[in-house]
Amino acid sequence: MLHLASRSPRRAELLARLGLDFGVIDLDIPEHQGALEPASEYVRRVAREKAGAGLLEVVAVPGAVVLGADTEVILDGRVFGKPADAGDAAEMLRALSGRTHEVTTAVALVSAGREAQAVSTSQVRVARLSEADIDAYVACGEWAGKAGGYAIQGRFQAHVEHLAGSYSGVMGLPLFETSRLLRQFGLPA
């Protein structure tokens, strides 16, 4: 059986689009980038840690396969995780304004005998944001719990000038890469 090691309702919604039945494992995995850890390695490591911790929760379930994922916004090598508060979200949006940044999502799939991983990196260009734009977006609250302080699937879509890559990857689970991994594990996707 497939299990999603994530609290994210977006990830669950995206995984459901593949038509699979799955359980959800609610985990709280610390997400702290090491001082010298490159952003791309950090994203991969966190996805592996989530999947591994999830597998420990369901290790007694025969045939258990656990999917873990992590999504980060990266600008100039700096990881923009989930904002701590509205002020932090506003600062992130100011930094992203008028610039192109990367959104990297790593997906890890583990079972008792295997592990595989895939990474999706997309380029997102944000239009120049006025202070009024930032204030209005922060006031709507959509930024809470979102890497980089925005949700591309919501109101912020109006500020995305260009996207090159995976829309579902920017949302939190790249469906093309995830589907490939699931097929490697014999799961129809």
| pLDDT digits 0-9 by tens, 62-96 | 999 999 999 999 999 999 999 999 999 999 999 99
From 174, 59, 39, select the one nearest 117 (Cα to Cα).
Answer: 174
CATH of domain 2-184: 3.90.950.10
Q: What is the pTM of this model?
A: 0.93
Q: What is the mean pLDDT of residues 141-168?
A: 96
- Which residues have CB under 8 Å from 74's CB, separation 6+? 39, 40, 80, 101, 102, 103, 104
- What pLDDT shows up at residue 53? 96
- What pLDDT shows up at residue 39? 92
Q: What is the mean pLDDT of residues 52-71?
A: 94
Q: What is the mean pLDDT of residues 38-45?
A: 94
Share of the chain above pLDDT 90, in %: 89
- What pLDDT shows up at residue 25? 95
CA distances to 4, 29, 57, 140, 188 from 64, in Å: 11, 20, 10, 39, 15
Q: Which positions are annotated as active-site residues?
A: 70
Bridge partner residues of 78 (DSSP): 75
Residues 168-177 pLDDT 10s: 999 999 999 9
